[in-house]
Amino acid sequence: MTSTAGLAQFPIVAFVTIRDPERAKPFYRDVLGLTMTGEELPYALVFDCNGTMLRLAIDPESPPIRGTVLCWRVTNIEDRVRQLMQAGVVLERWDFMTQDKLGIWTTPTGAKVAWFKDSEGNLLSVSQMPD
């Protein structure tokens, strides 16, 4: 029998790479409403995301990551999407899936997901799990 590294008991730290901290800071702080807990220039901006540390690692040469990098599990996704839109966020539309008028896709399992990009072009999402 092999042993595990035992990391399940420890909280994670999330990382997203950004190019421009002066552009990303107001998006994550003012648009998404996250609490900024540190500004470690020239390395990272640090935010609290409901108890999870989110480090926006600064790399002016890094392109956006392909695929979703962060997702918030929310309740009442329709209200959250409307709030994002009111804050100026543009929801992504995909030709290969059926999304409702708000841009929400319902998965075959009943989960609902909507995607949007941050100020740096990274893909983020909100999702609501089925009851």
Same domain, 68 and 131: yes
Same domain, 111 and 57: no
Query: What residues make up the domain containing 42?
Result: 12-62
pLDDT in tens, 85-95: 999 999 999 99
Distance CA 83, CA 104 (A): 14
Return the pLDDT at 113. Answer: 98
CB 49 within 8 A of CB 56: no
**Counted domains in the chain:** 2
| Domain at 29, CATH number | 3.10.180.10
Same domain, 54 and 74: no
Burial 20-56 (b: 16+ CB within 10 A, else e): ebeebbebbeeebebeeeeeeeeebbbbeeeeeebbb
Where a domain ends, among 62, 78, 96?
62
For residue 56, being part of any structural domain is answered with yes
Weakest mean pLDDT among 43-47, 63-67, 86-90, 94-98: 63-67
Tell whether pTM > 0.85.
Answer: yes
Same domain, 73 and 116: yes
For residue 6, being part of any structural domain is answered with no
Secondary structure of 83-123 in HEC code, one letter for each residue: HHHHCCCCECCCCCCCECCCCCEECCCCCEEEEEECCCCCE
Does the pLDDT value for residue 34 go beyond 80? yes
Residue 112, strand partner residues: 106, 128
